[in-house]
Amino acid sequence: MRMILAAALAVLAVRPAEARMERAYIGTFTNTSGGRVGQLGPRGEGIYLTEIDSDTGRMTTPRLVAKTPSPTWLVADPARGVLYACNYYHGFADPAQPRGAGAISAFRIDKASGDLTLINQVSVGDAPAQAALDPSGKWLVAANYDYGSAAVVPVAADGRLGAYTDLVKPQGPAGPGQAADTPPGNLATSGHDHSRMHGVVFDPSGKYVILDDAGLDRISVFTLDNAGKLEKVADYPQAAGSAPRHSIFGGGGRILYTLFEQNAKIAVSDFDPATGRVRQRQMVSMLPPGFAGSVSGAELLLSKDGRDIYASGRFHDVIVHFRVGKDGLLTYVGEVPAQTNFVRGLAADPSGGLLLAMGQYGDNVVAFRRDAKTGAPLPLNLYAPVPSPVAMVFADPGP
């Protein structure tokens, strides 16, 4: 009997701990809009779900959980168990927009299976590139790219979306399609025919909304009142043709990092949470010395511990690593191949130990391990097949 018990205890001692599986939703370009034409896509069908082992980086085969047009940006609301998707297309009817409009869709997350059920879908008057949920959970603000606008959408207690309460359409002179400091041989141009809102983020307090206008080359600060109306605080013009695309906060909400699409640079700015003032302190390149050729900055990601920033570069197809100093300034560390084609979205798992990259033309998601000491993204040679992926968010499946 003692021998049997000892053998059983020995088996338990060597049995590996249960894997930490995290649910990740992946948004794609569908054939309604975006990407290349012809054989190379876009070929997504909507939102896909994979489960990722945080210890190994292995991903289950993604499965389609919601058919919806081009959900190219996703926002998770864990408190309500809701997932919001930016539908980047013009097939939604809007009486105020005769050319058609894109939408924001709200989905209920099934705790047991992770399946998505559509709650409702509302027009945002344009094609949304990004959206952000305010800290109170009462409002979504969409940055609309194609026509150039920002929409405010009310959110009910159950996650249902209401008709937009404001639609701001910035005006300004058209700029050049390329920045003066773009790398030699960069043939990738950015749209500067009019306003093209691309990025939106709330400061941690929820008092201010930051909007990146890639068409008018400016970063704008707004406040949002209780009636769902945006009020301009200030515009901060950027270099002509630079195309500010995506901003994130660091330093406890006192530092704003902005990625520029056209010249592949990142700005580091002080942010005053009392006034909303933005003051630029640093501009760093995503590119190695002497780089020449086409490149286009895509997305920024701050590590969970705040020590590292990662940026994705399309055409060049790399993940660029910067170390964050105590003062918030960035030091270029290096780049690693993204191991896919036309890398776009970046995501980190809840543990902060994994980095995931979306390959829009590679039709896959690629996993990297973040080195605990150096922060370097280390290739794991692990992939998941997804057609035309562009964005990923993690959503806790709950108890």
Residues 366-378: tens digit of each pLDDT: 999 999 999 999 9
Q: To 5 degrees, how large is the angle CA 262–CA 377–CA 345? A: 45
Q: How confident is the model at residue 19 (pLDDT cuts 50, 70, 90)?
A: low
pLDDT at 397: 56
The answer to whether 333 and 325 are in contact (CB under 8 A) is no
The answer to whether 124 and 109 are in contact (CB under 8 A) is no
- Give the SS3 label for residue 269: strand
Tokens of 237: 């013009």
Please report whether residue 15 resides in a domain.
no
206-231 burial, b at 16+ Cβ within 10 Å, e below that, comes to bbbbbbbbbbbbbbbbbebeeebebe
Other C-beta atoms closer than 10 Å to the C-beta of 185 total 10
Q: What is the pLDDT of residues 24-82, one digit of tens each?
A: 999 999 976 544 444 566 899 999 999 999 999 999 999 999 999 999 999 999 999 99
261-272 burial, b at 16+ Cβ within 10 Å, e below that, comes to bbbbbbbbbebe
Radius of gyration of the chain (CA): 21
Please report whether residue 189 resides in a domain.
yes
Alpha-carbon distance 103 to 84, whole Å?
Answer: 10
Length of the chain: 399
pLDDT at 15: 35
pLDDT at 33: 55
Q: How confident is the model at residue 383 (pLDDT cuts 50, 70, 90)?
A: very high
Tokens of 111: 């705790």
pLDDT at 62: 98
Please report whether residue 5 resides in a domain.
no
Distance from the Cα of residue 72 to its chain's centroid: 9
Alpha-carbon distance 180 to 245, whole Å?
Answer: 17
pLDDT at 20: 82
Which range (10-14, 268-272, 318-322) has the least confidence?
10-14
What is residue 113's DSSP assignment? T
Average pLDDT for 348-358: 97
Q: What is the pLDDT of residues 275-305, one digit of tens each?
A: 999 999 999 999 999 999 999 999 999 999 9
Q: Using CB atoms within 10 A of its CB, is residue 143 exposed (0-12), middle (13-18) or buried (19+)?
A: buried
- Give the SS3 label for residue 139: strand
pLDDT at 326: 97
Please report whether residue 16 resides in a domain.
no
pLDDT at 6: 45
Alpha-carbon distance 125 to 167, whole Å?
Answer: 7
The answer to whether 107 and 131 are in contact (CB under 8 A) is no
Please report whether residue 13 resides in a domain.
no
Alpha-carbon distance 72 to 345, whole Å?
Answer: 9
Q: How confident is the model at residue 10 (pLDDT cuts 50, 70, 90)?
A: very low
Alpha-carbon distance 335 to 62, whole Å?
Answer: 28
Please report whether residue 290 resides in a domain.
yes
Write down the pTM of the prediction: 0.93
Count of structural domains, the chain: 1
pLDDT at 95: 81
pLDDT at 31: 76
pLDDT at 99: 82
Average pLDDT for 353-357: 98
Q: CATH number, domain at 298?
A: 2.130.10.10
Terminal-to-terminal C-alpha distance of the chain: 38
The answer to whether 332 and 322 are in contact (CB under 8 A) is yes
Contacts of residue 285, defined as CB under 8 A and 6 or more positions apart, other chains included, come to 263, 264, 265, 332
Consecutive H or E run containing 5 = helix 2-14
Distance from the Cα of residue 351 to its chain's centroid: 18
Alpha-carbon distance 144 to 93, whole Å?
Answer: 16
Average pLDDT for 189-197: 94
**Mean pLDDT of all residues belonging to the chain:** 92
Please report whether residue 354 resides in a domain.
yes
Q: What is the pLDDT of residues 217-232, one digit of tens each?
A: 999 999 999 999 999 9
- Give the SS3 label for residue 251: helix
Other C-beta atoms closer than 10 Å to the C-beta of 342 total 23
Consecutive H or E run containing 78 = none
Please report whether residue 14 resides in a domain.
no
Domain containing 329 equals 22-394
